[in-house]
Chains A and B, each alone.
Chain A
Amino acid sequence: MVLYLKEFKIKWGMVIDLDRCTGCGACMVACQAENNIAPPVDASNKRYSLTWLLVYQLSNKQPYPNHDVAYMPRPCLQCGKPNCVPVCPVIATDKNQEGGIVSQVNARCIGCRYCMAACPYHARYFNWHDPVWPEGMEKTLTPDVSTRPRGVVEKCLFCHHRYMAARDKARIEDRDPNALAEGDYIPACVEMCPTGAMVFGDLENPEHKVHKLSKSPYAFRLLERLNTKPQVYYYSKREWVRKQGDNYLEHETVGGV
């Protein structure tokens, strides 16, 4: 069964401008609050911290004073050909809905973590422990995303609940839920970004900004040669940044000008 090779008319995607991201992390905090992720007491142990969206620091690896730095927010890239989907033995993760968001249904997950091994982007996280909120803080949980017990894998879903809410709003207003306008549905991280480094929309819709931006010569995808076809594009005018998007050899040229 090759359901995951399905093509969709709508493909929600992001273009993230790495020249504009300052690495402040507002997106990560917004993501945790939006998706009911419990705060860790010791976040320095990255094995246990759940960061659906993680901002990496990139370096051009030149010594001072020629050093340059860039920040790369990494949500789940919602691959067009996801590696995680075919390995899931219980179809807890799937790519089967118009929009192309790779699902992760925690109620169905058995915690085998095959998907984590399969994902080349480290976008998936395992709940080693039950989530614990300090006393009272559970009152700040949003009603939109269920809490996850220990033993299941979780990941970014492009704030899928916001997609469903946007579709509902469209239905109530007698608009076509399959023809959402740009801005009707935006994940929390994109909405909060103070420099506007993240743009979100339907990659297949020429009226959405991401459609054109994703075709820019400065746009690239992570580990493009794995042919996972992510729906998240990065954008940088700096060649060294684009070069770090994949394991290029010395003499190889990358896209862009």
Chain B
Amino acid sequence: MALNRRSFLTFAAGGVAGTLFTPVIWKSIDDTAIWTQNWPWIPRLEYGPRAYAATTCKLCPAGCGLNIRTAGGRPVAAEGRTDHPLSQGGICPLGAAAVQLLYAPARIKGPMQKQADGTHQPISWDQAEALLKEKLAEQNGKKDAVVCVSGDENGTINELFSALLGGLGSDGCFLMPGEQIVASKILREGSIGYDLENADFVLVFGADLLDGWGTAVRNKKAYGAAHPMGEEASAEYVYVGPTQNVTGGAADQWVSIAPGMEGVLALGVAYHLLQGGMTAPQAHDFFAYRNFVINRYTPEYVERLTGVAPEQVAELARKLRSANKPLIIPGSTIAQGGGVFNFAAALSLNMLFDNVNSAGGIQVLPDLPTVVSGAKEPAQVRAKDLVAYVQGVAEGKVSKPAVCLVYEANPLFALPLPDVTAQAFDGTYLVSFSTFYDETAAQADLLLPTPTFIERFDDVQTPYGSGFASYSLTRPAIRQPIFDTKPTGDVLLAVAKALGIDLGFASFDKVLEAKVAVLSELEGFFTDKVQPWEARAGKAPAAASGNLWRTISRGAVWASITEPFPTAMQLGSTIISQTAPPDAEDWTFPVSLAAMDSRTYGSRHIAIPPFCLPLLGEQEIQGDVFYVWMNSATARSYGLQAEDRVTLTGPNGSCLAKVRIFEGVGRNMVAAPLGFGHTAWDKFSRNKGDNIYKVLTVRTEPGSNLAVWADSRVRIAKA
């Protein structure tokens, strides 16, 4: 048979017909469909057994317990830990985004050195440590030539810093500013805590209790427990502060006053209490206090300064008196930069009710003993005023440090007036131990990245605001750090050894073991059966015993509610009268700036994590411009409308923003979030909004000489 056109076509027709009796067509359609489901640029899932690693969060000072969930050994999610008294299963948005931060593009992948052209080039850890040793050796013995700035308020790592600096002849170990420095002006040793869980009336002055202040997640748990769904509330929360921030919005009542006026209102309340016949015979300065308050903080005076009607102040006093366990919490809305006056004035109300070291009252909490030889007491470190120091250096009053070590802190971004800070440290050999490429790291001469808290050992001792002393460990959830990072504690020990300074330990793990060992000499218990607030209310816990390291390194939380030392009862009349602000009005900067510090925007040393970005509303940021909030009356009086572009100007800088009309902001105030305007980091947080730290005003509080900026004022103008 010859192959002609006809037979070829019939052959082909036979082929087509035959194909219909094979699965080829259906199979190819099916497989193509499956193929399209697996585009190579969309990641595949990896499988493996699910496990949890209990640890303690180090992203902010609140010290929440976290469970790092792993799948096949890979951390995949951070969850709350129900067995941790500081979080009780809850979590904040920053903590919830912790695991993804492991792979944030801003991570520094290994040690680096700054080159002449300003770029950072990788070096080895041996080179990096040798370099640090050399720089420190040059300054050995020169008084205060080396300083350190630590953003870790409550870790044992600070002992290594202060001991190393001490060995070099320097006293300059600073913490980033927080409430603790103010508290340390009232209480020379130990710290102040608040037993929220047992209180039935919580009056908060300024402190953003449920967001950026103190043990925020624990506070939220206490607030939630006091407001059970479907039942009557068991405690009333009143917030006295500038805005309906998280606390102001959630509280049962919001009393709006300008930042910095909290103390005046507190003493206004005290006036009503004292007029109502309240006495505090246990306080030996009662009469001085009474005279000072009655003579000066009259209802008219308080109304003129705060704008709060006398009836409302009297009502607060009445509510306090009718409560069984009233608790008054002082603080600054941004948990930093507050003055002693506001703090002491609010605290004095607690003294009037004599609720010190009692259930539902304020607590004097002990500092845990130090373990590193040569380390400073925590109270000494807390009392040092970093902002005053930086201002002094910038003004030339204090000699410029030769070397500055920065750990878990971002002072070139998150100190008031970052430009002044940059100027103060210009010429200083800047060493950053930061995990992330933050603004300080971008300027640093040497980068020695520490692993994230998910990859390292660390610890948390009694966070500020907690109602009880506590200790828990941070433990790595993965075996090896994912980048070429090294725990700062180990770097410090190695460098100290090279310098011939004996800190007494071979590794940071051993420091933590020693820390745990001293707990056995203290009166404490594990929180697995009895919670500290239950113990405070009278339920006796079993004393912690056995191998403490074994128990705590598996995640157990150690707590103590013992009174550390007898406290002399004072209402603080002397310090209050000395620090009371003059009542002159400021017309150059007519608007009160109510800065807001929320965990949604990260923390003092963490920029907004990628996973927190969707939380920002359309009226928080649009593209690269962020919003400042004011009520419609304030906006009208400055000729502004929603969406208008404005500049906020302080004495040393200005910020660009858009106007959001939000009626939950007090009269003649502008509310603005801290944490925007990053210039380093990564594409997720860089160049978004502006840095409000630039427009803050730093003043020195008379009587305490403390640098204060929580009550900053600005000028606003249409841009």
Residues of chain A whose beta carbon lies under 8 Å from any beta carbon of chain B:
15, 17, 19-26, 28-30, 32-34, 36, 39-44, 46, 49-51, 55, 57, 59, 61-65, 67-71, 107, 130-131, 133-143, 146-147, 149, 188, 191-197, 199, 212-213, 216, 218, 235
Contact = CB atoms under 8 A, between A and B. Distances in A.
A64 B45 contact: no
B488 interface: no
B281 interface: no
A139 B46 contact: yes
Contact of B89 (A55, A107, A130, A191): A191
Interface in B182-218: 210-211, 216-217
Nearest to B219: A194
Nearest to B105: A134
Interface in B583-616: 599-600, 610-616
23 contacts: A15-B229, A20-B250, A24-B210, A30-B96, A33-B77, A33-B96, A34-B77, A39-B100, A39-B614, A44-B622, A46-B618, A49-B614, A57-B617, A64-B666, A71-B249, A131-B42, A134-B104, A135-B105, A137-B104, A138-B43, A147-B42, A196-B221, A196-B229
Interface stretch (B51-59, B68-76, B424-432, B690-698): B68-76
Contact of A143 (B45, B79, B89, B249): B45
Task: Tell me whether chain A's interface is mostly helix, strand or loop, or mixed.
Answer: loop
Nearest to A210: B229
B77 A195 contact: no
Contacts of A216: 230
A107 B97 CA distance: 28
Given A69-B249, A142-B71, A196-B221, A22 B91 contact: no
The CB with the most chain A CB atoms within 10 A, among B91, B229, B621, B633, is that of B229
Contacts of B683: 41
B572 to A, nearest CB: 31
A42 B42 contact: no
B102 interface: yes
B64 to A, nearest CB: 9
B256 A65 contact: yes
The CB with the most chain B CB atoms within 10 A, among A29, A50, A107, is that of A29
A199 B221 contact: no
B672 interface: no
A184 B188 CA distance: 49
A108 to B, nearest CB: 11
A43 B612 CA distance: 9
A59 B100 contact: no
Contacts of B357: none
B212 to A, nearest CB: 10
Contacts of B622: 44
A29 B45 CA distance: 20
A64 B41 CA distance: 51
Contacts of A68: 244, 664
B482 interface: yes
Contact of B244 (A42, A67, A133): A67
B35 interface: no
Contact of B610 (A30, A39, A136, A193): A39
The CB with the most chain A CB atoms within 10 A, among B104, B614, B631, B633, is that of B614
A69 B91 contact: no
A30 B45 contact: no
Contacts of A41: 613, 683-684
Interface string B92-123: 11011101101111000000000000000000
Nearest to A16: B229
B614 A40 contact: yes
A141 B76 contact: yes
Contact of A69 (B43, B79, B244): B244
Given A134-B610, A195-B224, A107 B92 contact: no
B176 to A, nearest CB: 23
A106 to B, nearest CB: 9
A24 B229 contact: no
Contacts, number: 225
Nearest to B225: A196
Contacts of B76: 33, 140-142
A137 B631 contact: no
A139 B224 contact: no
Closest 3 CB pairs of A and B: A194-B90, A39-B610, A67-B663
A131 B43 CA distance: 9
A139 B43 CA distance: 9
Nearest to A212: B230
A211 to B, nearest CB: 11
B453 to A, nearest CB: 15
A131 B90 CA distance: 29
B119 to A, nearest CB: 21
A130 B38 CA distance: 12
Contact of B249 (A22, A28, A196, A213): A22
A64 B667 contact: yes
Interface residues of B, number: 78
A140 to B, nearest CB: 5
B80 A20 contact: no
A9 to B, nearest CB: 24
Nearest to B95: A26
A225 B220 CA distance: 34
Given A22-B249, A24-B600, A68-B244, 17 more contacts: A20-B229, A28-B615, A39-B614, A40-B613, A40-B614, A41-B613, A51-B614, A59-B664, A130-B42, A136-B482, A140-B75, A142-B76, A143-B71, A194-B224, A195-B210, A195-B227, A199-B229
B500 to A, nearest CB: 40
Given A29-B96, A44-B618, A195 B482 contact: no
A41 B292 CA distance: 55
A122 to B, nearest CB: 13
A194 B229 contact: no
Contacts of B600: 24-25
B244 A39 contact: no
A64 B661 CA distance: 11
Interface in B399-442: none
B256 A64 contact: yes
Interface string B221-251: 1011101011000000000000010110110
B223 A195 contact: yes
Contact of A26 (B93, B223, B667): B93
Interface string B645-689: 000000000000000000111110000000000000011100000
B37 A107 contact: yes
A131 B610 CA distance: 14
A192 B47 contact: no
A71 B249 CA distance: 9
B74 A139 contact: yes
Contacts of B100: 33, 39, 137, 140
Given A64-B256, A64-B666, A137-B103, A29 B93 contact: yes
B484 to A, nearest CB: 14
Contact of B663 (A63, A71, A193): A63
A43 B616 contact: yes
Contacts of B225: 196
Nearest to A131: B42
Contacts of B99: 33, 140
B419 to A, nearest CB: 27
Given A43-B616, A64-B664, A192 B610 contact: no
A22 B220 contact: yes
A141 B74 CA distance: 9
Contacts of B664: 59, 64, 67-69
A15 B228 CA distance: 13
Contacts of B684: 39, 41, 134
A198 B684 CA distance: 30
A51 to B, nearest CB: 5
A71 to B, nearest CB: 7
B26 interface: no
Contacts of B618: 44, 46
Nearest to A66: B663
The CB with the most chain B CB atoms within 10 A, among A141, A193, A195, is that of A195
